[in-house]
């Protein structure tokens, strides 16, 4: 599944429906503006923010260039510390490993095996909850927003705040109607005040923490030199999942590695400020293998590929693997603010999802081929990214791949797409433009002809161009081409260069 929700429509269709929902747009506008304003103030406090941003970029790029070496180092360090490392090439393999480990760990409640989870994008990417449910294993989300999404039989719509599309009244109604079916019911007379909603979630989750024998996590970072995993969170539920169960299983993308402990100094400054606008993360949990009489007695690390090595082979697209999942790009994106996360059809919404999901899954499917176009290319996402991912550059690069079409093939250090029959009109238009721009005489003649017939030009484009002009105004053709104006006003032939 590689990060795409099965059965979702393409982005243009989903976005068209989303922008017509005034409640959704109001929720998104309020939440994204609040978060990004707080982030801007938190970042402005640091005089060396630009240097930290560059340092994060350099650390990530160095790690990706030498990922083979650091992966081996992680395996050796985790194994030496008492953990077990598993390698998963894709989602199916990762899900099979987790299910088998849970079954081997045993434990049940009324014949129904249960696990508790700390929020993990990687497990959402591979569809782990659904895979476990098919094996009779129920996974309980313990992050407040993830709990809301799960109880509401919904899908996350934001990287940091998965339930950003819900308001307090909707959350209260979900708790009242659904909590009883999953465990401890919501208190009588529950209101929509934040304190009461949080207390209802705490009481509901407490029995899950105390009963589950297996915890499942992801990781924000993995330190190669010691095999230490790091999870940062704001509620304390992660600490409960990481310490109380007898067995801990962590599913981690191979791009989450950093070489040294010293590297965390950079990311533990940039991640909290870029995500929750906090100077320091409230809960930072770190664990290395197993320790007698402290925490889980059994630890398994599953290193997940699932399209990451193919992404790494793309010289332009690989920078998406720098992402530290802060969600800053979502909060400044005008497209996300209006369309919401569900329109992207992926667990990775917003600008980063528009470049990450197509690479993990490939641009061959209709839904993923539409994602690189889910952007105005305004560049705001690049400006706020704490690891300087040039998202607009990757978007344009992926659009080129979509137009080329065909299956991906490796050529040296690059991954390219074989030409295909699709997008024939667009390819023909680009080739015609290329020919015109390399023949100045023909270009000048075409410009003059367009100016002299400007009154006859349609307001919308015909054929395949109708989709483009249907939501945009065609620019008016000037009375006089620029070259002719320059020649007339700047000294004749000598000025027209």
**What string of DSSP letters covers 239-281?**
HHHHHSSSEEEEEEEGGGEES-HHHHHHHHHHHHHHHT--SS-
Residue with the bigger pLDDT between 470 and 396: it is 396
Percent share of the chain, pLDDT over 90 = 64
Higher pLDDT, 466 or 130: 130
Within 13 Å of residue 215, how many CA atoms lie on the same side as its CB? 27
The DSSP H or E segment spanning 25 is helix 22-44
Burial class for 390, CB neighbours closer than 10 Å (0-12, 13-18, 19+): middle
| Mean pLDDT score of the chain | 88
User: pLDDT category, 108, cuts 50, 70, 90?
Assistant: very low
Q: What is the reported pLDDT for 419?
A: 47
- So what's the pLDDT on residue 406? 53
Read off the pLDDT of each residue in 397-420 and give the average, rounded to a whole number.
62
Cα–Cα distance, 61 to 53 (Å, whole number):
12
Q: How far apart are CA 387 and CA 274, in angstroms?
A: 10
- Over residues 449-463, mean pLDDT: 81
Tell me what pLDDT residue 112 has. 47
Work out the pLDDT band at 249, boundaries 50, 70, 90. Answer: very high
pLDDT average, residue stretch 285-296: 92
Q: What is the pLDDT of residue 197?
A: 95
Q: What mean pLDDT do residues 182-204 have?
A: 94
Highest mean pLDDT among 16-25, 222-231, 340-349: 222-231
Range with lowest mean pLDDT among 100-114, 274-288, 340-354 = 100-114
Contact between 486 and 496 (Cβ < 8 Å): yes
- pLDDT, tens digit, for every residue of 361-371? 876 666 788 89
Which pLDDT band holds residue 384 (cuts at 50, 70, 90)? Answer: very high
Render 274-322 in DSSP notation, one character per residue.
Answer: HHT--SS-SEEEEE-S-BTTBS-SEEEEEEE-TTHHHHHT-TTGGGGGG
Burial of 492 (0-12, 13-18, 19+ CB in 10 A): exposed
Q: Tell me how far apart the alpha carbons of residues 81 and 221 are, in angstroms, rounded to a whole number.
A: 17
Lowest mean pLDDT among 19-23, 352-356, 389-393: 19-23
Structure-token pair, residue 457? 């030009």
CA 79 centroid distance within chain:
30
Residue 495 is predicted with a pLDDT of 45
Q: What is the average per-residue pLDDT within 36-54?
A: 96
């Amino acid at each position: 599944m590689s990060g795409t929700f099965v059965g979702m429509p393409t982005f243009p269709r989903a976005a068209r429906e989303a922008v017509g929902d005034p409640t959704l747009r109001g929720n998104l506008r309020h939440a994204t503006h609040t978060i990004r304003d707080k982030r801007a103030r938190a970042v402005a406090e640091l005089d060396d923010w630009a240097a930290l941003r560059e340092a994060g970029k350099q650390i990530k790029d160095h790690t990706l260039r030498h990922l083979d070496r650091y992966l081996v180092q992680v395996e050796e360090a985790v194994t030496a510390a008492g953990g077990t490392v598993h390698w998963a090439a894709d989602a199916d393999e990762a899900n099979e490993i987790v299910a088998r480990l849970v079954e081997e760990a045993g434990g049940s409640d009324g014949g129904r095996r249960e696990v508790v989870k700390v929020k993990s994008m990687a497990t959402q990417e591979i569809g782990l909850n659904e895979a476990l449910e098919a094996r009779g294993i129920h996974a309980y989300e313990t992050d407040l927003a993830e709990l809301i999404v799960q109880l509401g039989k919904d899908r996350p719509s934001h990287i940091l705040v998965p339930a950003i599309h819900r308001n307090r009244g909707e959350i209260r109604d979900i708790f009242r109607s659904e909590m009883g079916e999953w465990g401890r019911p919501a208190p009588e007379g529950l209101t929509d005040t934040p304190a009461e909603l949080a207390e209802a979630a705490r009481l509901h989750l407490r029995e899950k923490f105390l009963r589950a024998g297996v915890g499942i996590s992801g990781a924000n970072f993995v330190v190669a030199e010691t095999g230490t995993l790091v999870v940062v969170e704001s509620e304390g539920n992660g600490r409960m999942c990481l310490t109380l169960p007898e067995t801990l299983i962590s599913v981690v993308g191979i791009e989450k590695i950093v070489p040294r402990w010293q590297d965390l100094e950079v990311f533990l400054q940039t991640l909290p400020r870029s995500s929750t606008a906090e100077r320091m993360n409230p809960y930072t949990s770190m664990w290395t293998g197993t320790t007698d009489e402290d925490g889980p007695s059994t630890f398994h690390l599953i290193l997940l590929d699932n399209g990451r090595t193919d992404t790494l082979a793309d010289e332009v697209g690989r920078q998406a693997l720098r992402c530290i999942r802060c969600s800053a790009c979502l909060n400044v994106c005008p497209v996300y603010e209006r369309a919401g996360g569900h329109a992207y059809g992926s667990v990775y919404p917003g600008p980063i999802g528009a470049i990450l999901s197509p690479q993990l899954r490939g641009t061959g499917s209709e839904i993923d081929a539409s994602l690189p176009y889910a952007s105005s290319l305004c560049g705001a996402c690049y400006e706020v990214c704490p690891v300087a991912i040039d998202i607009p550059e990757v978007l344009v690069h992926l659009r080129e791949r979509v137009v080329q079409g065909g299956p991906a093939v490796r050529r040296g250090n690059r991954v390219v797409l074989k030409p295909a029959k699709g997008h024939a009109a667009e390819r023909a238009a680009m080739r015609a433009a290329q020919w015109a721009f390399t023949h100045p005489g023909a270009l000048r003649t075409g410009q003059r002809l367009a100016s002299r017939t400007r009154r006859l030009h349609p307001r919308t484009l015909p054929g395949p161009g109708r989709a483009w002009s249907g939501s945009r105004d065609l620019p008016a053709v000037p009375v006089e081409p620029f070259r002719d104006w320059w020649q007339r006003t700047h000294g004749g032939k000598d000025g027209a260069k």
